Chains A and B, each alone.
Chain A
Amino acid sequence: MMPSNSRYRERLLGLVTLALMLFCPPLLLVIDRLPSVSMGWLPLYLFCSWAFIIGLTAWLMEPTKRR
Chain B
Amino acid sequence: MRTDALILSAVFGYLGLLFLVAAWGDRRAAQGRSIINSPTVYALSIAVYCTAWTFYGSVGRAAQFGPSFLLIYLGPTLAMMLSPFIIRKMVRIAARQRLTSIADFISARYGKSAGLGALVALISLITITPYIALQLKAITVSHAVLISYPQSAESILYNERFWMDRSLWVALVLAVFIILFGTRHLDASERHEGMVAAIALESIVKLVAFLAVGLFVVFILFEGPGALFTQVAQTPALSQLMHLESVPGGATGWVGMLILAFLAFLTLPRQFQVLVVENIDERHLARASWLFPLYLLLINLFVIPIALAGLLLDAGDPDSFVLTLPLSAGLEGLPLLVFIGGLSAATGMVIVETIALSTMVSNQLIMPLLLRFKALHTDSKGGLARWLLRIRRVAIVLILLLGYLYHALIGDSYSLVTIGLVSFVGAAQFAPALIIGLYWRGATRLGAVYGLIGGFFMWSYTLLLPGFAQSGWLDSALLIEGPWGIGWLTPYALFGLEGWDIYTHSLLWSMFINVGLLVGISLFTRPTLLEQTQAALFTEALHPNLPTTSHRRGQTTQGALHELLARYLGLKAAQQVFSTRTQTLSTFQKDQPAADELIMRAEQALAGSLGNASARVLINSVVRGEALDIESLLNMLDITTQTLEYNRRLKQKSDELTRIGKDLQSANDRLRELDRLKDEFVAMVSHELRTPLTSIRAFAEILSGSQAVPEEKRQHFLHVMVLESQRLSRLIDEILDLARLESGRMTFDAKTLDLAALTDHSLEAIARLQEQRNVHLEVTILERPANVIGDPDRLEQIIINLLDNASKFADPADPHVLLRLYKQNQHIYLCVEDNGAGIEPSAREHVFEKFHQLQPGDTSTGGRPKGSGLGLPISRAIAVHLGGRLWVEDAQVLKGACFVLTLPEAEPNKGNPAP
* Chain A residues within CB distance 8 Å of chain B: 1-2, 4, 9, 12, 15-16, 19-20, 23-25, 28-29, 32, 37-40, 42-43, 46-47, 50-51, 53-55, 57-58, 61-63
Contacts and interface: CB of A to CB of B under 8 A. Distances in A.
A53 B232 CA distance: 29
B255 A24 contact: yes
Given A2-B88, A25-B255, A54-B297, A39 B289 contact: no
Interface string B278-293: 0000110111011101
Nearest to B294: A54
Contacts of A12: 81-82, 84-85
Interface residues of B, number: 42
A12 B83 CA distance: 10
Interface in B56-101: 66-67, 70, 74, 77-78, 80-82, 84-85, 88
Considering the complex of A and B, which 4 residue pairs feature the smallest CB-CB distances, nearest first? A58-B290, A25-B251, A38-B233, A57-B290
A38 B251 contact: no
A50 B251 contact: no
Interface in B242-294: 242-244, 251, 254-255, 258, 282-283, 285-287, 289-291, 293-294
A1 B244 CA distance: 40
A16 B283 contact: no
A40 B77 contact: no
A54 B291 CA distance: 8
A51 B293 CA distance: 9
Interface of B is mostly: helix
B286 A50 contact: no
Contact of A42 (B230, B243, B289, B301): B243
Contacts of A32: 243-244
Interface of B: 66-67, 70, 74, 77-78, 80-82, 84-85, 88, 229-230, 232-233, 238-244, 251, 254-255, 258, 282-283, 285-287, 289-291, 293-294, 297, 301, 304, 308, 542
A1 B286 contact: yes
Given A16-B82, A46-B70, A54-B77, A39 B290 contact: no
B78 A50 contact: no
A19 B78 contact: yes
A37 B232 CA distance: 10
Given A16-B82, A24-B255, 11 more contacts: A1-B283, A2-B283, A9-B85, A23-B74, A23-B78, A39-B229, A40-B242, A50-B77, A50-B293, A53-B77, A57-B293
B285 A2 contact: yes
A63 B286 contact: yes
Contact of A39 (B74, B81, B238, B291): B238
A10 B240 CA distance: 40
Contacts of A47: 297, 301
A53 B240 CA distance: 27
A15 B70 CA distance: 20
B219 to A, nearest CB: 18
Contacts of A23: 74, 78, 258
Given A12-B84, A29-B251, A39-B242, A54 B293 contact: yes
13 contacts: A2-B283, A9-B84, A12-B82, A16-B81, A29-B251, A32-B244, A42-B242, A46-B70, A47-B297, A50-B297, A53-B77, A57-B293, A58-B291
B242 A43 contact: yes
Nearest to A62: B286
A24 B258 contact: yes
Contact of A50 (B74, B84, B304): B74
B78 A2 contact: no
A26 B282 CA distance: 36
Contacts of A15: 81
A53 B243 CA distance: 22
Most buried by B among A23, A39, A46, A53: A39
Q: Most chain-A Cβ atoms within 10 A of its Cβ — which of B70, B88, B283?
A: B70
A13 B171 CA distance: 43
Among B242, B297, B301, residue most surrounded by chain A Cβ atoms (within 10 Å): B242
A13 to B, nearest CB: 8
Given A19-B78, A42-B243, A54-B290, A25 B304 contact: no
A57 B289 CA distance: 7
A32 B282 CA distance: 39
Nearest to B308: A39
A38 B85 CA distance: 41
Contact of B78 (A20, A25, A40, A63): A20
B82 A40 contact: no
Contact of B81 (A4, A19, A43): A19
B77 A38 contact: no
Nearest to B303: A43
Contacts of A29: 244, 251
A19 B308 CA distance: 27
Contacts of A46: 67, 70, 74
Contacts of A53: 77, 81, 293
A38 B78 CA distance: 30
Contacts of B233: 37-39
Q: Most chain-B CB neighbours within 10 Å: which of A2, A28, A54?
A: A54
A12 to B, nearest CB: 6
Given A39-B242, A58-B290, A28 B251 contact: yes
Greatest chain A CB density within 10 A among B67, B255, B542 is at: B67
Nearest to A22: B74
Nearest to A16: B81
A62 B254 contact: no
A58 B66 CA distance: 29
A16 B239 contact: no
A62 B39 CA distance: 11
Nearest to B542: A4
A46 B242 CA distance: 11
Contacts of B542: 4
A20 B75 CA distance: 10
Nearest to B297: A50
Contacts of A61: 286-287, 289-290
Contacts of A19: 77-78, 81
Contact of A16 (B78, B229, B286): B78
A57 B294 CA distance: 10
A22 B285 CA distance: 24
Contacts of A20: 78
Contacts of A37: 233
B81 A57 contact: yes
Given A1-B286, A23-B74, A39-B233, A51 B242 contact: no
A16 to B, nearest CB: 5
Most-contacted residue by chain B among A37, A57, A58 (CB, 10 A):
A57
Nearest to B301: A47
Contact of B244 (A28, A51, A55): A28
Nearest to A24: B255
A39 B232 contact: yes
A19 B304 CA distance: 22
B67 A43 contact: yes
A41 B468 CA distance: 38
A43 B255 contact: no
A15 B293 CA distance: 14
